[in-house]
Amino acid sequence: MERVLVTRALPDDWLEPLAAAGLELDVIEQDEAPSDELLRSRAPGCAALLVMLGDRVDAALLDAAGAQLRAVATMSVGVDHIELAACRARGVAVANTPDVLTDATADLAMALLLALARRLAEGEALLRSGAWSGWGPQQLLGRDLAAARVLIIGPGRIGSAFARRVVAFGARVAYHGRRRRPELEAELGAHFEAELDTALTRAEVLSLHAPLTEATHHLLDARRLRLLPRGALLVNTARGPLVDEAALVEALRDGHLAGAGLDVFEREPAVHPGLLTLPNVVLLPHLGSATQGTRRAMADLATGAINAVLRGASPENLISS
């Protein structure tokens, strides 16, 4: 019987497709990410690994698993935790979960933007503190999204879905990415910005949707954060290391940025202590795809990919690079 290592506790019905295919399941029954050592100790002999975005899949884990390993499926769209070249070199197929989490993640980015623009966290804190003395004409004034200039870095599936949402709120959209997206320009009147530095100088709101690669690590460093106009808002639902978090804290502290809505952090689950004390940030524990329907759909894609690879097929959600 072939064995699949599942790196987190998951509902039985999510794993049913693997059991129904006659696979033996070895589930690490915990919610938090297992250590590298624990992963390496459980991987030997497995035909497939069902992993999450906090699990490092590197050459050491693949070698610990052994030559019979044929598939790694991750319940995430991001694959920055997986050494793709090491998988390719060992003939291990890698699958992710695109499409099914697009709306949930774009919704969360929109929620963060609305929370920032209308200062929801500050308002709620005021009310809960008991210090609210009633309606005031200048109290907690926020921003209008109508006509705001929103820059999207990484206009892929989630970036495009976010663009549709902000356009519905009346904002104007510009985007920066590796290639031009004529369909986005035609559909939303989105403006292509070829030069990132120039684009930043024009953005009142910046939302990040790029994958994390060597090229995008600290894409927003201290210099680029300062290119944003004073008072800009930043939303990050992509990956924390796209932003130099220490530089971000400085830019928020001295008021260069008016606020940041962050669902992802540079060293998850650690959060820069400076962020925790700032009133003008909204911080979420990486909830982008966290809806019941979306997570179930992600599980179905991941288990479907494992079943397909193990019976010699090539599912659509294989990573090709």
* Residue ranges that bind ligand GLV, judged by CB under 6 A: 53, 76-78, 101, 288-289
Residue closer to ligand GLV (CB basis): 84 or 167:
84
Residue closer to ligand GLV (CB basis): 34 or 288:
288
Strand-pairing partners, residue 270, are 267
In the complex, minimum distance from the CB of residue 81 to ligand GLV, in angstroms, rounded to a whole number: 9
C-alpha separations of 88 from 59, 72, 96, 142, 210 in Å: 11, 11, 15, 49, 23
Residue closer to ligand GLV (CB basis): 78 or 229:
78
Rounded-to-integer distance, Cα 246 and Cα 317, Å = 35
Rounded-to-integer distance, Cα 231 and Cα 171, Å = 17
Residue closer to ligand GLV (CB basis): 76 or 216:
76
Catalytic (active site) residue 191: no
In this structure, what are the phi and psi dihedrals at residue 94, rounded to the nearest 5 degrees? -120, 130
The sign of the dihedral angle between the CA atoms of 312, 319, 56, 307 is negative
Among 176, 239, 272, 295, the one annotated catalytic: 239
Instruction: Give 11: exposed, middle or buried? Use CB within 10 Å, 0-12, 13-18, 19+.
Output: exposed
Catalytic (active site) residue 8: no
Rounded-to-integer distance, Cα 160 and Cα 180, Å = 12
Among 42, 176, 286, 295, the one annotated catalytic: 286
Angle between helices 102-117 and 157-168 (to 10 degrees): 40
In the complex, minimum distance from the CB of residue 100 to ligand GLV, in angstroms, rounded to a whole number: 10
In this structure, the strands spanning 232-236 and 172-176 are unpaired
The residue to which tokens 């390719």 are assigned: 88
Among 2, 185, 250, 268, the one annotated catalytic: 268
Catalytic (active site) residue 286: yes
In the complex, minimum distance from the CB of residue 288 to ligand GLV, in angstroms, rounded to a whole number: 5
In the complex, minimum distance from the CB of residue 241 to ligand GLV, in angstroms, rounded to a whole number: 12
In the complex, minimum distance from the CB of residue 239 to ligand GLV, in angstroms, rounded to a whole number: 7
Residue closer to ligand GLV (CB basis): 251 or 289:
289
CA 222 to chain centre: 21
**Active site residue ranges:** 239, 268, 286
